[in-house]
A and B are shown apart, each in its own frame.
Chain A
């Protein structure tokens, strides 16, 4: 079936505004991850969802960042009061949920905060 999709592909916003980024995982995948990739940097883990378990939020950089996953499928990452340092590519990945499973990544959302 279709791969992981993310929307929007690009988002330009003004400092102080809130933004919502969406991720549609592969159907049937129980695990969902959010990462942030800044220019020339590796992927920075943000948050992980697995089934109905409490999400692992240990990577969220501040309380301005939050994420939810509705119905075990679609996820939304929200950044409140955006700052220029939030500019990055936000990547979503999904997997079957096993400890050694493969993560399938979406194309990412490029966020630019002016």
Chain B
């Protein structure tokens, strides 16, 4: 069955360091991969989208890579700040429809 795996353990890093979050998937050939941020008690907020034919996408301090051979995406936050502390969700969508599959998310804590 289709499966998305994100590290269930929280990631704790020091302010100023680069945070790297991983999203792995199996039994799926996504056309698009998205990353969302979710704060406690709120709905997810879209951050970045990367297409299957793109290797890397950047937006300010954020960088996403997409390796369709490894079936993996990496999400990087450079120069991390305490305000970056949140849960980050990976989401996949194929070309066959609009159904989006989300991972369970990884909790990030950035310490000052």
How would residues 75 to 109 of chain A score, 1 for a CB under 8 Å from any chain B CB and 0 otherwise? 00000000000000001010000011011111110
Give 22 A-B contacts (CB < 8 Å), ordered by A residue: A4-B43, A31-B98, A41-B104, A42-B4, A42-B6, A43-B102, A45-B99, A45-B102, A48-B97, A48-B98, A48-B99, A50-B98, A59-B99, A93-B43, A100-B49, A100-B51, A100-B93, A102-B49, A103-B46, A105-B45, A107-B41, A107-B43
A50 closest partner in B (C-beta): B98
- Report the interface size class on chain B: 20 to 34
Contact for A33 among B31, B89, B100, CB less than 8 A: B100
B31 to chain A, nearest CB (A): 8
**Could you tell me the distance between the alpha carbons of A107 and B44 in the complex, rounded to whole angstroms?**
8
Whether a CB of chain B sits under 8 angstroms from the CB of A56 is yes
Whether a CB of chain B sits under 8 angstroms from the CB of A40 is yes
**Could you tell me the distance between the alpha carbons of A114 and B49 in the complex, rounded to whole angstroms?**
39
Asked if residues A42 and B98 are in contact (CB atoms below 8 Å), the reply is no
Contacts of B45 in A (CB 8 A): 105
